[in-house]
């Protein structure tokens, strides 16, 4: 039978822990549910960032030195 959850110890800043406990009580949810939801949201954002990065890998790049030289050549610097 697959394991449905994994136990872990997390140390929170005391004020953040209080806020989390209050939120959990107000929403009638567990702290674990809230933390899992937050991690899922962060992971989804990471997946979007990775997809965006992968979509742009074929774009031409420019080094910082070349960019500064182009600014100077254009009279911006």
pLDDT in tens, 27-54: 999 999 999 999 999 999 999 999 999 9
Torsion of the alpha carbons at 5, 9, 13 and 16, rounded to the nearest 10 = 20
Please enumerate in sequence order all residues whose Cβ is within 8 A of that of 71, keeping only pairs 6 or more positions apart, or say none. Answer: 77
How many CA atoms lie within 13 Å of 74's alpha carbon, on the beta-carbon side?
7
- The verdict on residue 37 lying in a domain is yes
Residue 45 placed within a domain = yes
8 occurs within a structural domain: no
Which pTM value belongs to this model? Answer: 0.67
Boundaries of domain holding 55: 14-73
Q: Within a domain: residue 38?
A: yes
Is there a domain that residue 27 lies in? yes
| Number of structural domains in the chain | 1
Q: What is the pLDDT of residue 13?
A: 98
In a domain, 44, yes or no: yes
Contact 20, 12 (CB under 8 A): yes
């Amino acid at each position: 039978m697959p394991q449905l959850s994994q136990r872990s110890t997390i140390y929170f800043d005391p004020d953040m822990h209080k806020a989390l406990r209050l939120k959990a009580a107000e929403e009638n949810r567990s702290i674990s549910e809230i933390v899992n939801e937050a991690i899922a949201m962060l992971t989804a954002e990471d997946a979007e960032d990775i997809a965006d990065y992968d979509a742009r890998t074929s774009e031409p790049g420019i080094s910082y030195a070349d960019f500064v030289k182009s600014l100077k050549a254009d009279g911006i610097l």
